[in-house]
Structure 1
Amino acid sequence: MTISPDLTNASQSPPRRQRRPWHRAVPLPLLEAGLVLTWSSGFVGARFSLDYAPAFLAVFWRCVLVTLLLTPLAWAGLRRASPKALLHNAGIGLLAMAGYLCGVVGGIALGVPAGLAALVADLLPVGVALLSVVLLGQRLPGQAWAGLAIGSCGVLLVTHGALALGHAPLWAYGLPLLGMLSLAFATLWQQRLGEGAALGPAVNLWLQCGVSALAFAVVQSVQGGQGGLSPLPTAGFALSVLWTAALSTLGGYGLYWVCLARAGHTRVASVLFLSPGVTLLWGWCMFGEPLSWAMLAGTAVSAGGIWLVLRGQHG
């Protein structure tokens, strides 16, 4: 019996090498730079959206749009995922997106000054560190704690000019804090699941936006308002939804989870200490808001805090 040369070559051909995911090929500092740029765009986008639509109507359509855009990319992964993995990642999405945005945006809508809400939200690295100690029993070296303290001082320097108490109900001031802690808890939950339970960036973000869209639909319906969940036929509303969907959600949240899969939660969260300074640059470019030496100095202080955190983790 003779064997065909074609069959012999086929049997001896080397296995096909799997293509490396794009986010594994990109250097981590470059991903983190993109994270800071897109994450900070969310505060500018939220301010822009409030001029054209109720806050939760805009975030509802932002989540709907991202879900629709990601469906072709996520469909195959959703079919392969186990029900347990889907439930875990849906819970993470509710905390990270719906919980965080309801706390921060809801506080602003009730009268908490935007600068104060942003300051609390920008303390995410401290929230992540504290929860990791309290809930997971992890220990951070003293150098890392010093970096977190210095980074927080930098955030305070950047935002101090926009701080005010406002006239919101007393309990409303706790909403931004709860929103920040919600994202911090989701960050630790995602890291604890590890690579084995990860569904991939597209599937994760699709699931998070899907469950968050349902949550925001409920919140918007409870709040009432003329038109319900119908999109507003204005160019401003369309632009605000496109801005926050593309930059804040696909860019910000997408890169947040991608970076978290590559590095520890303390490092990824601490990088966001630079977000207030970059947010001010967004405001200067888009709204002509003034910059000051104190803002620039605060950003430099935050950068020094991040450097200490990274040294503390590698020390």
Structure 2
Amino acid sequence: MTDIAPTCTPQRHPLLWPAMAALLIFGWSSGFIGIRYANEEASVFLLLFWRTLLSGLILLPFALAFGPRLGLRAVVAQMGFGVMAVFLYLGGFALAIEQRVPTGLVALIADLLPLAIAALSQPLLKERLTARQWLGTGIAVAGVLTVSFDSLSFGAAPLWAYGITVGSMLVFAFASVLHKGRKALHIPVHQSLCIHTLTGSVLFGICALLAGDGLSPPMTGKFAFGIAWLVLIGTFAAYSVYYTSLRMFPAAKVSAAIYLSPPVTMLWAWALFDEPLTATMFVGLAITLAGVWLTSRD
């Protein structure tokens, strides 16, 4: 069931969307930093367990004190969304990497998320993209492919691991469209994110135990820094801005900003880890910017 558009749409400041898009790109791309630090000290499932557990526990007192009182039906609906948007999305990519699907290919498939959301928005939300927006989407995809070209390889992972990579991206795309279209999911963002992350933490904890990793965190500075970064920026900044933007703007417009995540991630890697930048990356960044501008402009 889709939202009914109000007869009078409130005017928003013209700089609101650019500011929110910048925050979204910053949070989405910077998740790489936390993973880079924390994954050196712990397995992927243990890392995701502590990321989601701490995120949920920090938000819990605010979720209980501020906002409407949630009934069982609302909580169950949010838990279902948390399974899709947190556990299956993050866990699927983590499992794919663990099965030796090349990281560059995993990142490329993950960054095609806006294309899947754009395709689902038309039949499920009746948000029709114009010819200009489809052209912008195609240009942005070409930019992402250009940026990722040097790091692409297919590896020797089992076929099902590649399927999990694509499936995880499609699950999050469906969850995003579902969140946009169902008013039952529109509770305050801090409450919904609390339920999503706590749900994910239970499932990631079970996976860590089944894998024999235990639940004890490594007592190292790198792990602490990585988890702090993933909680504060990778979860709070990225997810909260993403959910809020979905409620205010068309889904395809919001997701288009994610196309800029790969080139911005490479700038992070250059600034913090001295990873090289190539002329191809800058060409890809320029192409992606042009595509996102065409897709997002009113």
Q: TM-score, normalised by structure 2?
A: 0.90
Quick one: percent identity of the two aligned structures? 37
Q: What are structure 2's unaligned runs of at least 5 residues?
A: 1-11
Whether the 8 Å contact between 1:77 and 1:199 is mirrored in structure 2 is no
The aligned amino acid for 1:166 is G
**Aligned counterparts, 1:43-122, within 5 A:** 43-77=32-66, 80-122=69-111
The aligned amino acid for 2:208 is Q
1:279 CA displacement: 0.3
Residue number in structure 1 paired with 2:149: 160
Residue number in structure 2 paired with 1:237: 223
> What is the alpha-carbon root mean square deviation over aligned residues?
2.0
**Partner Cα separation in structure 2 for residue 303 and residue 25 of structure 1:** 19
Residue number in structure 1 paired with 2:252: 266
**Partner Cα separation in structure 2 for residue 157 and residue 217 of structure 1:** 37
Of 232, 235, 241, the match for 1:246: 232
Residue number in structure 1 paired with 2:128: 139
1:77 CA displacement: 4.5
Whether the 8 Å contact between 1:132 and 1:138 is mirrored in structure 2 is yes
Whether the 8 Å contact between 2:121 and 2:251 is mirrored in structure 1 is no
1:83 CA displacement: 2.3
Moved over 3 A (4+): 23-26, 133-139
Whether the 8 Å contact between 1:128 and 1:188 is mirrored in structure 2 is yes
**Partner Cα separation in structure 2 for residue 201 and residue 71 of structure 1:** 12
Whether the 8 Å contact between 2:96 and 2:164 is mirrored in structure 1 is yes
1:135 CA displacement: 4.5
Residue number in structure 1 paired with 2:164: 175
State the Cα deviation string for residues 101-125 of structure 1 (Å, max 9, x = none): 1111111111011111000000011
**Partner Cα separation in structure 2 for residue 300 and residue 73 of structure 1:** 41
Whether the 8 Å contact between 1:148 and 1:270 is mirrored in structure 2 is yes
1:133 CA displacement: 3.7
**Partner Cα separation in structure 1 for residue 28 and residue 190 of structure 2:** 18
**Partner Cα separation in structure 2 for residue 85 and residue 189 of structure 1:** 14
Distance 1:116 1:153, change over 3 A: same
The reply on whether 1:217 has 2:217 as its aligned counterpart is: no
1:39 CA displacement: 0.6
The aligned amino acid for 1:271 is A
Whether the 8 Å contact between 2:21 and 2:257 is mirrored in structure 1 is yes
**Partner Cα separation in structure 2 for residue 24 and residue 86 of structure 1:** 33
Q: What are structure 1's unaligned runs of at least 5 residues?
A: 1-22
Moved more, 267-276 or 143-152: 143-152
Whether the 8 Å contact between 2:140 and 2:287 is mirrored in structure 1 is yes
Residue number in structure 1 paired with 2:3: none
**Aligned counterparts, 1:254-293, within 5 A:** 254-293=240-279
1:245 CA displacement: 0.8
1:26 CA displacement: 8.2
**Partner Cα separation in structure 2 for residue 160 and residue 46 of structure 1:** 22
What is the total number of aligned residue pairs between the two structures?
287
**Partner Cα separation in structure 1 for residue 276 and residue 106 of structure 2:** 20
Distance 1:74 1:57, change over 3 A: same
Whether the 8 Å contact between 2:29 and 2:264 is mirrored in structure 1 is yes
Q: TM-score, normalised by structure 1?
A: 0.86
Distance 1:174 1:44, change over 3 A: farther
Distance 1:266 1:78, change over 3 A: same
Residue number in structure 1 paired with 2:7: none
1:82 CA displacement: 2.6
**Partner Cα separation in structure 2 for residue 47 and residue 170 of structure 1:** 26
The aligned amino acid for 1:180 is M
Whether the 8 Å contact between 1:41 and 1:282 is mirrored in structure 2 is yes
